[in-house]
Structure 1
Amino acid sequence: MRSSPTIDRDDLVLHTRHRVNALHHAVRPSTWLDALRLNAADTSTAAALRVGVAVAVVLVIGGLAGQYSVAGIASLGAIVSAFCRPDPYRVRMPRLVFVAVMLWTSVAVGGLLAVLHAPIAVQIVVMALLGGVGALVVAALHLVGPGAVVMVFAANAALGSVADWRGLVTAMVSVMIGTAVGFVAAIAPWIWVQVARAFGRDVTLVEPAAGVAYDSIARSLVRVTDRRHLELAGRVVVASALAAGVAVALGLQHPMWAAMGALAALVGVQYHNSVRRGVQRLLGNVGGAAIAAVLLMIPLGFWWSVVFVVIFQTIAEIMAPRNYGITSLVVTPMALLMTALGAGLSSGVALTRVFDTFVGVVIGIVIAAVTITRDDRVGDPSRS
């Protein structure tokens, strides 16, 4: 039996009203003030320091080897240590290997686009699909950490630095070395305990989330077919492609940053979380761009750039659970300095990043509002 046209019309009106309320929520002063709030979180300074040490080790190795152009890509591999921090070590290990493979794949994809001289339209589509697949897998496996945006950033770094097949191989080897260092840093306490026990010392290993049941990677991957995860992936693909396309149409030089802005804004489970993260990313990028502009005007050189990258990375890991805006404040100059390690950047590129990010965040929020679901509406504060 077909539903009444009146009921269908009423449902359409109700859904449209929710979409309008969602967009209105994005521009409320209370929403922007909420973005400045610090969340209460049990942050592990030791874990954050291990991420910083992993990045430092990789950059120092790259610098001593004279491989300045790929040191930044290698350091992205070391960020694998920022994933799965709440997981028990035996659960964390295979998950970190899986994340490492995702990073290798991302660098390979970006490098292939560069070597094959893919047109910008192809780059946008491939990067959008990469972001969507990354978001889908991260959500299905419940991978805690920087998220799929790191995958797109790694691919974009390879796209901008690889010139030929030899360069692609070098980039792949570099990111593999980086992930190996990051893996060791992430499980360093477990390694230390095993070595101590081998020498007869009675040492107790403090396990995160002890007693919590975890699914295997294979079983977790079955969840990629869940409607909620597929909807998120679809949003990411559409928003990333649209953001990058608009950036190209506006003549912006780095459209993939717009794609990453859209992706970062869409990772919230609920709509109001997406808006909060979007606002935090935008505010953080504005402040971070100012910091980056000052640093890029100074002839830092490789080693001072390494110092600032490590400091920013460590602060980002400490603040990530507390406020994404502060995280973005330090991630922005860190990302630009990483990029500058392989190719010189002017201070003007920091301002360009703000414009690109603004385009991405706005489009990400609009896509989230237009595609708002019933689950999203439950978490929409505009209803209260």
Structure 2
Amino acid sequence: MASTTVEPAGPAPLTRGAALAHPLRAHTWRSALAVDLSKASYAVPLRVGMAVGLVLICGGLTGLHDIAGFAALGTLISAFCRAEPYPVRVSRLAALGTAVVVSIGVGGLVGLSGGALTTEIVAISLLSGAAAVFIGALRAAGPGAVVFVFAATAAAGFVHDLTDLWRSVAAAAVGAALGMAASLAPWLLAHVRRRLTGGPALDDAAPVAHAPVRQLLAGAMQRHLLATAGRTMIAAAVSAVIAAAAGFSHPMWAAMGAVAALQGVDFHLTVSRGIARLLGNITGAAIAAALLAVPLGYWGAVAAIIVFQVAAEITAPINYAICSTAVTPMALLLTALGAGLGPAAAVDRVVDTLIGVVVGIVVAALTVSAGTRPDPLR
């Protein structure tokens, strides 16, 4: 009689109670601080930094300091799709650039309507859900939906009339075009060289099979994407309401913290990213407070933004806490270009992020899928 082999059972599905306890485990915090230097890269981060720097420098030279930040937000699409073949990137980057411009338009309309906090919370929360679905359907690896929420929030605080609206939207469109060009630069230069010398161009040796953007977006109504959108909208709205009720000056920063925390592909990554973002915000806020306390001026702020942006892009795959340490002063300085911020804004950033991270993790834990299984190494 043949013997039968009984496979050991895998770990039991993660319950809501275990999910809520997971952020309190020591290993969870250690994993958030893990550093993997093998994932470091420099070419893409430098191109992103150059794109951001170029629009900020042009904004300074032309006297358009107030809208240069919106152009810089547009260039951030160059941080997406860095692993995709160049022919695949073209349509995806175009879609991402359009999304940034639309996000700024939505935020601008909120500002144009009078900028009531309730209106802003509802609009930005709905936008965060739409952005989560969009990024998920497009399968665009990169900074995530938080970029679009940041863009909309910045526009809501900036736009007061139709002139502000079209200027901010136009600046974002210019920045998105430049960001797309920065991402595709090696491929475009290779085509130029081929025309001049007759040599081969990059990625032209064989056709690249990929789903077109229209087909990807047609599948946006998948159940798991809609569930992600629902969690993101709820967490963003609840975080902003709590921050507003507590009297903080920038409650939508709490919404951004929640959206960033929920960008993980599973619950464990959500927790890890949330902890890393919180720790990074604390150290980054200390740096930002010091910089905001001294008279950097426009050009000093631009130099610092470029350095922090490149550092964030280099460290993003290495360790998210280090990345957040660079992102926090970069975001605050970028906001200060048009709105003006003092050192106290750095403290607000930390507290708002804490609210967003906690709410994001709790929402993720309460809505954890019954089939989710814990990491056996944890």
Same fold (TM over 0.5): yes
The one-letter amino acid paired with 1:236 is T
Equivalent in the alignment of 1:358: 354
Equivalent in the alignment of 1:177: 174
The yes-or-no answer on 1:105 pairing with 2:102 is yes
Equivalent in the alignment of 1:80: 77
Q: Shift in Å at residue 213 of structure 1?
A: 3.8
Determine helix, strand or coil for the equivalent of 1:117: coil
Equivalent in the alignment of 2:19: 22
Per-residue deviation, residues 191-232 of structure 1 (Å, max 9, x unmatched): 11111111124245268xx87642111111132121111111
Determine helix, strand or coil for the equivalent of 1:199: helix
Equivalent in the alignment of 1:6: none
2: distance between equivalents of 1:383 and 1:372? 19
The one-letter amino acid paired with 2:226 is L
1: distance between equivalents of 2:298 and 2:34? 35
The yes-or-no answer on 1:162 pairing with 2:156 is no
Equivalent in the alignment of 2:149: 152
Equivalent in the alignment of 2:304: 308
Equivalent in the alignment of 1:133: 130
Q: Shift in Å at residue 41 of structure 1?
A: 4.9
Q: Shift in Å at residue 40 of structure 1?
A: 5.6
The yes-or-no answer on 1:70 pairing with 2:67 is yes
1: distance between equivalents of 2:209 and 2:230? 29
2: distance between equivalents of 1:342 and 1:213? 43
Equivalent in the alignment of 2:111: 114
TM-score normalised to structure 2 length: 0.93
2:193 to 177, 186, 196: 196
The answer to whether the 8 A contact 1:104-1:175 is kept is: yes
Q: Shift in Å at residue 323 of structure 1?
A: 1.1
1:217 to 213, 217, 233: 213
2: distance between equivalents of 1:382 and 1:119? 47
The yes-or-no answer on 1:325 pairing with 2:325 is no
The one-letter amino acid paired with 2:100 is L
1: distance between equivalents of 2:201 and 2:87? 15
Q: Shift in Å at residue 140 of structure 1?
A: 1.1
The yes-or-no answer on 1:274 pairing with 2:270 is yes
| Percent identity (aligned) | 46
2: distance between equivalents of 1:260 and 1:41? 29
Per-residue deviation, residues 347-373 of structure 1 (Å, max 9, x unmatched): 011001101000000000000000010
What number of residue pairs does the alignment pair up?
Answer: 367
5+ residue gaps, structure 1, are 1-13
The one-letter amino acid paired with 2:242 is V
The one-letter amino acid paired with 1:381 is D
2: distance between equivalents of 1:202 and 1:212? 20
Change in 2 beyond 3 A, CA 1:53/1:106: same
The one-letter amino acid paired with 1:142 is R
The answer to whether the 8 A contact 2:288-2:329 is kept is: yes
Matches within 5 A, 1:219-238: 219-238=215-234
* Displacement over 4 Å in runs of 4+: none
Equivalent in the alignment of 1:334: 330
The one-letter amino acid paired with 1:89 is Y
The one-letter amino acid paired with 1:241 is A
Q: Shift in Å at residue 343 of structure 1?
A: 2.2
1: distance between equivalents of 2:197 and 2:377? 61
The one-letter amino acid paired with 1:175 is A
2: distance between equivalents of 1:107 and 1:100? 11
1: distance between equivalents of 2:97 and 2:175? 9
2: distance between equivalents of 1:211 and 1:357? 44
Change in 2 beyond 3 A, CA 1:368/1:383: farther
Q: Shift in Å at residue 44 of structure 1?
A: 3.0
Equivalent in the alignment of 2:260: 264
Equivalent in the alignment of 1:367: 363
Equivalent in the alignment of 2:4: none
The one-letter amino acid paired with 1:252 is F
Equivalent in the alignment of 2:9: none
CA RMSD between the two structures: 1.8
2: distance between equivalents of 1:211 and 1:41? 30
Per-residue deviation, residues 307-332 of structure 1 (Å, max 9, x unmatched): 11001111111111121111110000
5+ residue gaps, structure 2, are 1-11
